């Protein structure tokens, strides 16, 4: 299970994005003033005036983008930056950052960004009040992420803690939860669903009718969904309401998916108490959830502590 790495990745990505691009040169304007940056080390991949991008920094950006894309080197253009689609041709949806061509395209985008930023500074746009506020918002986000990364990086969960949650919470909750073996027939119109229901009520076999008429992926298995417990991410509310009011062996009437133009008929084949999966199969999942909870608690404590030492004024009466 991935640990609380979203904050780590986001922090690394934001802190790493200081690139630029090989745009055709503008008419020469006065050499822009570039803000002081942390000195970079290693071979310089690209340079614009006083700004440099090293090979190490560039490779780090590629690594972070790939990690943000679940390890896939074919990164969507929009993930590369807010303005990426402005510089990269519209017909390109993804860039292969493992290839030389993809890396050159990403480098060019980074350099274009830096060229524009330096030109904006030369024109004094970095002094514009709205721009200053925007820079402050970005600075706040980067600092927040850096602080949270530092705060959360050492959070751990012991194997004993995982075992306790498995035995005292997970297994106990399953013992109090029914699992129902359900078959489904899904069609795109109510008249067709009503016709199938008539066939079921007059002796038609559910699995055969599901195989013949259902548009769901389960059609190939006779509509078999296996043993289920209520999960909103798996099926919609009406489905669970219907499934958990039927007796074992009973078939529902026709009901509609409130989110789509789909009409359902379901049958409850069996009912049993929940069965716990072996600890080794769900260890990572439990560990990840516990780390997440500890992280939430840690952040809450941190904010309360900081707030107690700060002068905070909130005028909620001014909110429209």
Output the domain CATH number for residue 184. Answer: 3.10.50.40
Taking 50 as the threshold, does the pLDDT of residue 10 lie above it?
no
| Least-confidence region, from 98-112, 116-130, 209-223, 269-283 | 269-283
Q: What is the pLDDT of residue 34?
A: 44
Indicate whether 65 and 100 sit together in one domain: yes
Tell me if 100 is assigned to some domain: yes
Angle, CA of 213, 219 and 223, to the nearest 5°: 105
Tell me if 217 is assigned to some domain: yes
| Least-confidence region, from 102-111, 133-142, 227-236, 286-295 | 227-236
d(CA 104, CA 115): 16
Indicate whether 147 and 181 sit together in one domain: no
Q: What is the pLDDT of residue 8?
A: 37
Indicate whether 75 and 114 sit together in one domain: yes
Q: What is the pLDDT of residue 40?
A: 60
Indicate whether 50 and 90 sit together in one domain: yes
The band of 274, judged by pLDDT with boundaries at 50, 70 and 90, is: confident
Q: Give the end of a domain, one of 256, 273, 290.
A: 273
Indicate whether 216 and 125 sit together in one domain: no
Q: What is the pLDDT of residue 239?
A: 96
Tell me if 171 is assigned to some domain: no
Tell me if 313 is assigned to some domain: no
Tell me if 167 is assigned to some domain: no
What is the domain count for the chain?
2
Taking 70 as the threshold, does the pLDDT of residue 181 lie above it?
yes
Tell me if 85 is assigned to some domain: yes
Q: Give the end of a domain, one of 255, 273, 291.
A: 273
Indicate whether 257 and 206 sit together in one domain: yes
Taking 90 as the threshold, does the pLDDT of residue 17 lie above it?
no
Strand pairing of 51-54 and 44-48? antiparallel
Give residue 115's domain range: 6-152
Indicate whether 24 and 102 sit together in one domain: yes
> Are 256 and 238 contacting, i.e. CB atoms less than 8 angstroms apart?
yes
Indicate whether 87 and 185 sit together in one domain: no
Taking 90 as the threshold, does the pLDDT of residue 81 lie above it?
no
What mean pLDDT value characterizes the chain? 86
Indicate whether 144 and 181 sit together in one domain: no
DSSP string covering 167-211: IIIIHHHHHTSEEEEEEEEEES-HHHHHHHHHHHHTT--HHHHHH
The band of 38, judged by pLDDT with boundaries at 50, 70 and 90, is: low
Q: What is the pLDDT of residue 61?
A: 92
Q: How far is CA 49 from CA 22, 26, 125, 135, 167, in A?
A: 13, 14, 18, 22, 62
Q: What is the pLDDT of residue 39?
A: 60
Indicate whether 148 and 13 sit together in one domain: yes
Tell me if 81 is assigned to some domain: yes
d(CA 141, CA 137): 6
Q: Give the end of a domain, one of 94, 119, 152.
A: 152
- Bridge partner residues of 110 (DSSP): none
What's the pTM?
A: 0.54
Taking 70 as the threshold, does the pLDDT of residue 174 lie above it?
yes
CB burial readout 229-253, b (16+ within 10 A) else e: eeeeeebbeebbebbeebeeeeebe
Over residues 197-251, the pLDDT tens digits come to 999 999 999 999 999 999 999 999 999 999 998 888 889 999 999 999 999 999 9
Indicate whether 128 and 197 sit together in one domain: no
Indicate whether 73 and 38 sit together in one domain: yes
Tell me if 67 is assigned to some domain: yes
Over residues 61-80, the pLDDT tens digits come to 999 999 999 999 999 999 98
């Amino acid at each position: 299970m991935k640990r609380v790495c979203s904050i780590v990745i986001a922090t690394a990505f934001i802190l790493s994005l200081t690139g630029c691009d090989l745009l055709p040169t503008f008419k020469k304007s006065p050499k822009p003033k570039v803000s002081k940056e942390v000195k970079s080390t290693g071979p310089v991949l690209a340079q614009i005036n006083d700004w440099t991008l090293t090979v190490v920094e560039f490779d780090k950006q590629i690594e972070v983008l790939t990690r943000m894309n679940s390890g896939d080197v074919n990164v969507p253009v929009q993930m590369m930056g807010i303005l990426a689609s402005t510089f990269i041709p519209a017909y390109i949806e993804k860039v292969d950052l493992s290839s030389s061509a993809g890396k050159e395209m990403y480098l060019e985008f980074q350099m274009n960004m830096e060229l524009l930023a330096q030109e904006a500074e030369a024109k004094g746009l970095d002094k514009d009040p709205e721009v200053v506020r925007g820079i402050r918002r970005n600075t706040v986000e980067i600092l927040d992420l850096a602080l949270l990364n530092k705060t959360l990086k050492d959070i751990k969960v012991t194997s004993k803690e995982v075992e306790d949650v498995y035995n005292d919470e997970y297994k106990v909750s399953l013992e109090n939860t029914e699992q129902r073996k359900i078959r489904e027939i899904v069609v795109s119109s109510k008249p067709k669903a009503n016709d199938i229901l008539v066939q079921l009520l007059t002796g038609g076999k559910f699995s055969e009718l599901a195989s013949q008429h259902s548009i769901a992926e389960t059609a190939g298995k006779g509509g078999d969904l296996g043993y289920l417990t209520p999960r909103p991410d798996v099926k919609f509310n009406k489905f669970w309401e219907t499934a958990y009011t039927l007796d074992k062996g009973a078939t529902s009437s026709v009901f509609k998916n409130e989110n789509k133009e789909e009409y359902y008929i379901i049958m409850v084949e069996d009912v049993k108490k929940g069965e716990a999966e072996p600890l080794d199969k769900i260890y990572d999942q439990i560990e990840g959830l516990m780390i997440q909870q500890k992280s939430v608690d840690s952040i809450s404590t941190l904010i309360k502590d900081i707030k107690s030492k700060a002068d905070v004024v909130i005028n909620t009466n001014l909110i429209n």
